């Protein structure tokens, strides 16, 4: 494995900072839209590159913008809410980001100060957990639960619940916080496929549904290896990367980088590095920044945007491969 210096990716951190607004929110691009999940992903990229103050500023925005029920809205532009839906995996992700930040900087005061916000967010999310263990994906603009669940979303929530449990334990609170809820959501993901995509077309054609249960630690060991093998030819385009949607001639940088993390998790390091090097070839030749994806049939980047969170996904994948920080095995 050819190690790449962390300095190789420093410019991506600077780009993420250029997307950060004065209030701490990290937009997709400078002066663009903001969503809480991608905002946190971007903050995690900043953690790896040592931009602690900018990352802390990002969490301050989450504290300041949290709703009274513990949620965040799905989309913002500047100071205004632009999408009044409340998605559970968005709200849960603060626990994942906070634990990642703590592993990198070991700042217990940061965790302690953020804990009330995390607790409120997890309480909101768990209001949506059904008797079967899955967690409903969102509340609509009328603040009513939307009666369906997402496999990718629930996998991400599983990871967040485990991180919230770790935080509780680290701060000297309950060692087994959320134990029952974690067990229930894990069981739903592994054993109750009928609980997902009940009211819309199956999302199994999306690569995230393939690798997210592995990335987030729900499916492990031999079962994880079988799952990767079963989906490989459906989603992987040789010498390019991972498709977002099975039938579309479109490889995406963030999905490819998340798959690098999942492959590392099951000790497929050679595949992971080959995939990551393919991703690096998708960088814009002028700026070296990453577009969302590449339509290989037309040989065009699409959509025409260079999201902060895509840059962060590249940084996370690099850390997983080249072990820059103590959080390299976070996923």
CATH code for the domain of 151: 1.50.10.10
In a domain, 327, yes or no: no
- Tokens representing 146 are 């939307």
Residues 6+ apart with CB under 8 A from 67: 73, 86
| 331 inside domain | no
Q: What is the pLDDT of residue 274?
A: 98
Query: How far apart, in whole angstroms, are the C-alpha atoms of residue 218 and residue 134?
Result: 13
Closest-CA residue to 94 (of 37, 136, 42, 34): 37
Q: Which domain holds residue 76?
A: 6-322
Does residue 197 have a pLDDT over 80?
Answer: yes
pLDDT given for residue 47 in this prediction: 98
Q: Is the pLDDT of residue 79 over 90?
A: no
pLDDT in tens, 264-304: 999 999 999 999 999 999 999 999 999 999 999 999 999 99
3-state secondary structure of 241: strand
Determine what percent of the chain is predicted with pLDDT higher than 70: 99
The predicted structure's pLDDT at residue 4: 86
Report the C-alpha gap between 327 and 331 in whole angstroms.
Answer: 8
Residue 330 resides in a domain: no
**Tens digits of residue pLDDT in 160-190:** 999 999 999 999 999 999 999 999 999 999 9
**Is the pLDDT confidence value at 222 over 90?**
yes
Considering its fold, how many domains does the chain have in total? 1
Residue 155 pLDDT > 70: yes
Q: Is residue 279 part of a domain?
A: yes
What's the whole-number mean pLDDT along residues 206-210? 98
pLDDT of 144 > 70? The answer is: yes
- Is the full-model pTM beyond 0.95? yes
**CA dihedral of residues 101, 182, 261, 86 (deg, nearest 10):** -70
43-61: average pLDDT: 98
Q: Identify the bridge partners of residue 76 per DSSP, sorted by sequence position.
A: 34, 81
The residues that bridge with 247 in the sheet, in sequence order, are none
The residue among 211, 187, 72 whose CA lies nearest residue 135 is 187
With a CB cutoff of 8 Å and minimum separation 6, the contacts of 48 are 6, 104, 315, 316, 318, 319, 324, 325, 327
**Predicted confidence (pLDDT) at residue 101 exceeds the cutoff of 70:** yes
DSSP track, 117-171:
HHHHHHHHHHHTB-TTS-B--EE-TTS-EES---HHHHHHHHHHHHHHHHHHHHT
């Amino acid at each position: 494995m050819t190690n790449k210096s962390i300095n190789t990716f420093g410019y991506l951190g600077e780009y993420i900072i250029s997307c950060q607004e004065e209030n701490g929110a990290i937009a997709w691009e400078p002066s663009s839209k903001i969503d809480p999940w991608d905002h946190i992903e971007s903050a995690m990229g900043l953690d790896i590159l040592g931009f602690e103050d900018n990352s802390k500023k990002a969490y301050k925005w989450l504290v300041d913008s949290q709703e009274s029920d513990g949620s965040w809205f799905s989309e913002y532009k500047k100071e205004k809410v632009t999408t009044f839906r409340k998605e559970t995996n968005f709200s849960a992700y603060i626990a994942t980001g906070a634990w990642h930040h703590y592993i990198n900087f070991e700042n217990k005061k940061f965790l302690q100060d953020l804990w009330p916000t995390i607790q409120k967010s997890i309480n909101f999310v768990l209001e949506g957990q059904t008797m079967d263990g899955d967690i409903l994906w969102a509340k609509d603009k009328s603040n009513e639960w939307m009666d369906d669940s997402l496999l990718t979303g629930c996998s991400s929530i599983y990871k967040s619940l485990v991180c919230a449990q770790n935080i509780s334990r680290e701060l000297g609170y309950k060692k087994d916080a959320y134990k029952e809820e974690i067990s229930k959501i894990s069981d739903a993901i592994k054993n109750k496929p009928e609980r997902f995509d009940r009211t819309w077309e199956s999302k199994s054609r999306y690569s995230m549904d393939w690798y997210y249960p592995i990335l987030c630690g729900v499916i492990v060991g031999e079962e994880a290896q079988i799952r990767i093998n079963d989906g490989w030819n459906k989603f992987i385009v040789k010498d390019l990367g991972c498709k977002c949607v099975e039938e579309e001639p479109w490889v995406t940088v963030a999905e490819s980088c998340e798959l690098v993390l999942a492959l590392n998790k099951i000790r497929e390091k050679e595949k992971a590095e080959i995939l990551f090097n393919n991703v690096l070839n998708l960088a814009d030749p002028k700026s070296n920044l990453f577009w969302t994806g590449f339509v290989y049939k037309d040989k065009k980047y699409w959509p025409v945007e260079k999201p902060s969170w895509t840059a962060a996904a590249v940084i996370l994948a690099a850390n997983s491969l080249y072990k820059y920080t103590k959080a390299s095995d976070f996923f």
